[in-house]
Amino acid sequence: MSIRPVRIYGDPALRTRAAEVGAPDETLRGLVQDLRDTMKAYSGVGLAANQVGVLHRVFVVDVPLDDEERAAFALVDPVIVSRSGSQRAEEGCLSIPGVWEDVTRSRVVRITGLDEFGKPVEIEADGYLARAIQHEVDHLDGVLFVDRLMPLRRQFLKRQLEALARGELPEDYQPPAGGEPC
């Protein structure tokens, strides 16, 4: 297991469409474990492979459904096959530290893909989980949540995003302790 450094806004891997995996192998399962470890270390609810600089279509999520239950899984080669409704809520991204903005997304999504062992899965998600899934699938397409804001809002964030792209992290930014650069 290892914690990988999360790529920050401005990194080309965040702007590249990740490639289909096909058949998950041991290497892919190692990547999934690292994504889980990294997501946990950064206290995230989701992480896509692009965010650690790996251009394979796989993400992990760990989203609270209510006070007791969480949805935690990896999805390989995910495809959103249907969407309905709409929801608007605040989003953030481990790759865009310091930026939190309201984003409109579908309320319900049905998604297909493979688990990390290659077994086909189909999931219907709503609410927070649906939001996280759409955010992570966007990552695999090289799309970031700030792309989905109204133009005026994006304009407002321009300097902040340019600063991130220059490598200037927010003053209170704390990468997790114990991270191993790789």
Residues annotated as catalytic are: 136
Residue type, 127: G
Residue 6, CA distances (Å) to 11, 56, 103, 144, 153 in order = 10, 15, 22, 14, 25
Q: How far is the CB of 91 from Ni ion (least distance, A)?
A: 8
Where along the sequence are the contacts to Ni ion (CB under 5 A)?
A: 93
Closest to Ni ion by CB, 118 vs 160, is 160
Q: Which two tokens stand for residue 174?
A: 């704390």
Q: How far is the CB of 100 from Ni ion (least distance, A)?
A: 12
Closest to Ni ion by CB, 49 vs 93, is 93
- Give the CA angle between residues 34, 40, 45 to the nearest 5°: 110
Q: How far is the CB of 25 from Ni ion (least distance, A)?
A: 26
Closest to Ni ion by CB, 118 vs 142, is 142
